[in-house]
Amino acid sequence: MAASLIAGISWIALLSTLNVSAQVALPEWVRGRGLALFMTVYFGAHTVGSAVWGQVAALLGLPLTHFIAAAGALLTIPLTWRWHLQTVRGSRPDAVDALAGANHQPGGRGGSRPVLVTVEYRIVRKTARRSSPRSTA
């Protein structure tokens, strides 16, 4: 029971840390889409991984599967030491707020200023009527 409690707390802490790191790393204009993609990949990998580990346990037995998973986790720790998650400590939210109200004109000098890209679609009336679900033609 104690090991399950520690594992559950660690799992929640890991998910929270990864979520905050993704939010800090993504620019504001793409944060919603980036987080949606992050969560889709994360939970998709969790689902596929659960199915794979279930098959491994069915083939090799539960004790050997647990040993393989633990050995794999321990072996990957040194491989991930060089990668660090972005944290709020290193960010400067005041820099983002200062640029939020600025008036940016097209054709200005390049740099790291925010960019707004707008896409407009024009639909010809003939095409709109033809593709309408109520059309009987």
Q: What is the 3-state secondary structure (H, E, C) of the chain?
A: CHHHHHHHHHHHHHHHHHHHHHHHHCCHHHHHHHHHHHHHHHHHHHHHHHHHHHHHHHHHCHHHHHHHHHHHHHHHCHHHCCCCCCCHHHCCHHHHHHHHCCCCCCCCCCCCCCCCCCCCCCCCHHHHHHCCCCCCC
pTM: 0.54
pLDDT on residue 94: 46
Q: Into how many domains does the chain fold?
A: 1
In a domain, 76, yes or no: yes
In a domain, 124, yes or no: no
CA distance 12 to 68: 23
Decide if pLDDT at 59 tops 90: yes
In a domain, 43, yes or no: yes
In a domain, 44, yes or no: yes
Q: Which tokens go with 75?
A: 């072996």
Contact 22, 38 (CB under 8 A): yes
In a domain, 77, yes or no: yes
CA distance 29 to 34: 10
Taking residues 94-106, what's their average pLDDT? 48
In a domain, 110, yes or no: no
Decide if pLDDT at 6 tops 70: yes
In a domain, 120, yes or no: no
Range of the domain at 23: 2-104
pLDDT on residue 83: 79
Taking residues 24-41, what's their average pLDDT? 89
In a domain, 21, yes or no: yes
Count of residues making up the chain: 137
pLDDT on residue 24: 85
